[in-house]
Amino acid sequence: MIDLEYATSDGFDIIQIGKDCSAVNLSGIDIRSIDLTPLTDCSELHALNLSDNELRELDLGPLHSCRKLVEINLSRNNLKSIDLSALAFSTIRRAMIDQKHGRPILLFEPIFREVEFKGWKLGELVDLAQDSREAPHADWAKTVKALEERVRWTPDSSWFAVQRGLLRYLSMIEIGGVDGDPRLILEDVSAEHGEEILTRIYEKTVSLLSAQLRRGGPTVFLDVEVMKRTSAACLVPEILESREKEMEDLIVPIRKDRAYLDEVVITHYGFEVVMGLGLEMRVGKRGLKRLKKSFEEVGYIFNTEEVQTVPKPDLTRASFSLRNYIQRVIAAKKG
């Protein structure tokens, strides 16, 4: 048994939970604060319900260990902000966070695999596995307003993750590589466009990617095979050319026998190889040898350079948001 302690307006209380429990329901008992750390031992936990309480903040970090968690309900609390990064790449399928007393909730790092907006429709329990193409979008006014609201509250450190989630929600993930402000994707789009709204969003995203390629921006996460069958096909030749140039310009800094792969993973081929080999962002001689061999097998050779000080990331090539997202993806694969 484990002790889960929480505070109410009357003081502190404790509930005992079995380590093999599959569900924890603490709904409607006036919880003001709660430490979820004991739940790290609950490997069989499937559902957590903390709805109808008075929570103003909540650390979800301990839930990172709950690999079987599929449902979480935090609705009808007093949350003003919440960090969802602990649930990144989790098995979450159903989730609910809503507003209370009209206060918006600011979502930091809202990553479910790659941000799944489907999980955060206000006042509604949503199946995250549902394909958005099967979801009813009859009320475009509400749809556009909801998307704009979610994107509007996004800190710039999460921009790349949010645009991935937005485009995945709209079944446009093949072009989910916009490295910039995701609000631009919805710019000049309104409910008046009706069912043409998806076409307009797609065209806008293609336009943003075109500008990104012209300035030498990243091509990572763009699925050219799918794009060939869409109106984004016009970008494919330029993407392939950019990917070749990425490899020609690649230099890997080495300091004290450690290779720093920050510039490798922001390239398409580099990211694919690092993920395929299960490497980390810093590798020793053995890891570097494996990396070079894999590159050579597909016809690429990169240069290395011994340095006293590792250069700072070039944010003109790829933003902090994109780099942060890639690091999270790699860490989750490794973990």
pLDDT tens track for 157-176: 878 888 887 887 777 889 99
Residue 233 shares a structural domain with residue 261: no
Q: How many CA atoms, within 13 angstroms, populate the side-chain half-sphere of residue 57?
A: 4
Name the more confident of 34 and 193.
Answer: 34
The CATH number assigned to the domain holding 32 equals: 3.80.10.10
Q: Is residue 123 part of a domain?
A: no
Please check whether residue 199 lies inside any domain of the structure: yes
73 with 24, same domain: the answer is: yes
pLDDT value at 216 more than 50: yes
Residue 234 falls in which region: left (phi positive, over 0), alpha (psi -120 to 50) or beta: alpha
Confidence of residue 43 (pLDDT cuts 50, 70, 90): confident
Other C-beta atoms lying within 10 Å of the C-beta of residue 192: 10
Residue 194 one-letter amino acid: G
Q: What is the mean pLDDT of residues 170-187?
A: 90
Are 326 and 281 within one domain?
yes
Cα 326-95-195 angle, rounded to 5 deg: 80
Higher pLDDT, residue 231 or 195: 231
pLDDT of amino acid 179 = 96
pTM above 0.75, yes or no: no
Task: Report pLDDT for 267.
Answer: 95
Q: Is the pLDDT of residue 68 over 70?
A: yes
pLDDT band at 89 (very low <50, low <70, confident <90, very high): very low
Pair (94, 77) in one structural domain: yes
- Same domain for 156 and 83, yes or no, is no
Residue 294 — pLDDT band, cuts 50, 70, 90? very high
Q: Are residues 159 and 86 in the same domain?
A: no
Residue 231 located in a structural domain: yes
Among 68-77, 252-261, 318-327, which is the least confidently predicted range?
68-77
Asked if residue 13 lies in contact with residue 33, where contact means CB atoms within 8 angstroms, the answer is no
Total domains in the fold of the chain: 3
Mean pLDDT, the chain, integer: 81
Is position 115 within any domain? no
What is the Cα 129 distance to its own chain's centre?
A: 16
Regarding whether 178 and 136 lie in a shared domain, the answer is yes
Query: Cα(first)–Cα(last) distance of the chain, in Å?
Result: 27
According to the model, what pLDDT value does residue 186 have? Answer: 87
What secondary structure letter does DSSP report for 252?
E
> Residue 94 is part of which domain span?
1-109
Nearest-CA neighbor of 8 among 24, 25, 27, 30? 30
Is residue 194 a contact partner of residue 141, using CB atoms and an 8 Å limit?
Answer: no
pLDDT of 214 > 90? The answer is: yes
Does 120 map to a domain?
A: no
φ and ψ at residue 35, rounded to 5 degrees: -100, 115
DSSP lists the bridge partners of residue 303 as 251
- 239 with 254, same domain? no
Give the per-residue pLDDT at 90. 53
Residue 270 and residue 300 share a domain = yes
